């Protein structure tokens, strides 16, 4: 029997289990995918702890994960857009991708380009679409100066590259170990910590036009202190600041489409966008993968390999 990640109650990493399940069966308009890689994301950990239970309620036992890449194993009725054996990238809205097999609507799949690794493909959806929406939300123009917090993280590392491609001057807030990577990608690195506002002002050498927060903490307040208009501040994580200050919170939900996924994958295949895979874990080590994620010091993505 195939295996899948499950948990039976809200809690920490210790509630995660890998169990045997029935092989899923695709319905009309659906495809069964044999999963080759499935990225993990902070939002999944928050859902598992119960932090978002009022917004995204859970039923138990619950599966986990939305990002996926794999091989089409079976077609449901009425599916003609893909064939068994096709390599695809996609996502599920049913918290089910961290498994050996998952059923996915065919509309949530796009072909995997040959130049994209399984690990990159399997961790692209949430981080990629979130970064895409966040950059679009602050309406960057050539010559704008934008600051990005968490600039070397799973989302931030894509945000800074998309912002550079848009013609902006990009200042990336990150730890000292990420300075060389940011510089190599056309980003001005600034270390977080005491005196950050002054360091950002010095790096900007003038007005800061936009701010994208991928980390949380008090970065929205920093953006306001720097004089950024709230219409050009976007946070993907600090929803309390959205309520308090009226800044934007556009992310995955605003760009979740196969077309966006295909565009991002094609840019990776063409060498125009780097999706950094920090580490990969076998499905059986899902607890270790999320323990790694919780440290919040990873450059790029952490991926499960069923």
Q: Which of 301, 304, 294 is CA-nearest to residue 128? A: 301
- Which of 113, 184, 114, 182 lies closest to 148, judged by CA? 182
Q: Give the three-state DSSP class for 274.
A: coil
Residue 297 confidence (pLDDT): 66
**DSSP, res 215:** S
Structure tokens at 300: 């790029």
Residue 214: its pLDDT value, please?
A: 96
Name the pLDDT band for 273 (thresholds 50, 70, 90).
Answer: very high
According to the model, what pLDDT value does residue 282 have? 98
Confidence band for 55, pLDDT divided at 50, 70 and 90: confident
Q: In this predicted structure, what is the pLDDT of residue 155? A: 93
Rounded to whole angstroms, how far apart are CA atoms 11 and 235? 26
**Helices and strands, number each (H, E), in the chain:** 10, 14
Cα radius of gyration rounded to whole Å, the chain: 19
- List, in order, residues 6 or more apart from 293 with CB less than 8 Å away: 40, 42, 45, 302
Residue 274 above 80 pLDDT? yes
Q: DSSP secondary structure string, 217-273?
A: TTHHHHHHHTT--GGGEEESS-HHHHHHH--B---GGGT-SHHHHHHHHHHHHTTSS
C-alpha atoms less than 13 angstroms from C-alpha of 96 in its C-beta half-sphere: 19
Matching fold, domains 3-123+275-304 and 127-253: no
pLDDT band at 294 (very low <50, low <70, confident <90, very high): confident
Burial track 56-83 (b if 16+ CB lie within 10 A, e otherwise):
eeeeeebbbbbbbbbbbbbbbeebeebe
- Give the tokens for residue 296: 């919040």
CA dist 79 and 36 (Å) reads 21
The CATH number of 127-253 is: 3.40.50.720
Give the span between the Cα atoms of 187 and 299, in whole angstroms: 15
- Mode of pairing for the β-strands spanning 210-213 and 233-235: parallel
Average pLDDT over residues 47-70: 90
Please answer whether residues 73 and 131 qualify as being in contact, where contact means their C-beta atoms are separated by less than 8 angstroms.
no
Contact 151, 189 (CB under 8 A): yes
Cα 73 to Cα 31: distance, rounded to the nearest angstrom: 8
The mean pLDDT of 130-137, rounded to a whole number, is: 97
Report pLDDT digits (tens) over 202-236.
Answer: 999 989 999 999 999 999 999 999 999 999 999 99
CA-closest candidate to residue 90, choices 40, 133, 124, 62: 124
The residue extents of the domains of the chain are 3-123+275-304, 127-253
| pLDDT for residue 296 is more than 80 | no
Q: For the chain, how far is it from start to end, CA to CA, in angstroms?
A: 13
Let me know: does 126 contact 252? Beta carbons within 8 Å. Answer: yes
Mean pLDDT of 3-19: 96
CATH superfamily of 3-123+275-304: Medium-chain alcohol dehydrogenases, catalytic domain (3.90.180.10)
The model's pLDDT over 168-205, given as tens digits with 9 standing for 90+, comes to: 999 999 999 999 999 999 999 999 999 999 999 999 99
Q: Is residue 10 a contact partner of residue 49, using CB atoms and an 8 Å limit? A: yes
pLDDT of residue 105: 98
């Amino acid at each position: 029997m195939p295996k899948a990640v499950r948990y039976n109650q809200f809690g920490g990493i210790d509630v995660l289990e890998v169990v045997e399940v029935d092989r899923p069966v695709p319905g009309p308009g659906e495809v069964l995918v044999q999963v080759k890689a499935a990225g993990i994301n902070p939002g999944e950990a928050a859902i598992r702890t119960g932090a978002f239970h009022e917004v995204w309620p859970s039923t138990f036992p619950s599966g986990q994960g939305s990002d996926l890449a794999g091989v089409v194993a079976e077609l449901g009725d009425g599916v003609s857009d893909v064939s068994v054996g096709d390599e695809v990238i996609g996502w599920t809205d049913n918290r089910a991708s961290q498994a050996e097999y998952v059923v996915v609507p065919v509309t949530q799949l796009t072909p995997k380009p040959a130049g994209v690794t399984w690990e990159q493909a399997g961790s692209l959806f949430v981080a990629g679409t979130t970064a895409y929406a966040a950059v679009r939300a602050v309406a960057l123009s050539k010559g704008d100066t934008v600051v990005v917090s968490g600039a070397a993280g799973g989302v931030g590392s894509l945000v800074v590259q998309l912002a550079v491609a848009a013609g902006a001057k990009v200042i990336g807030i990150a730890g000292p170990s990420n300075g060389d990577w940011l510089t190599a990608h056309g980003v001005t690195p600034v270390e977080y910590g005491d005196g950050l506002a002054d360091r950002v002002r010095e790096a900007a050498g003038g007005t800061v036009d936009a701010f994208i927060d991928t980390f949380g903490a008090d970065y929205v307040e920093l953006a306001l202190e720097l004089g950024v208009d709230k219409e050009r501040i976007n946070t993907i994580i600090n929803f309390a600041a959205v309520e308090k200050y009226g800044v934007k919170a556009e992310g995955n939900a605003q760009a979740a489409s196969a077309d966006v996924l295909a565009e991002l994958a094609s840019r990776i295949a063409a060498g125009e966008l780097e999706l950094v895979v920090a580490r990969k874990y076998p499905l059986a080590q899902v607890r270790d993968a999320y323990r790694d994620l919780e440290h919040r010091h990873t450059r790029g993505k952490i991926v499960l390999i069923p």
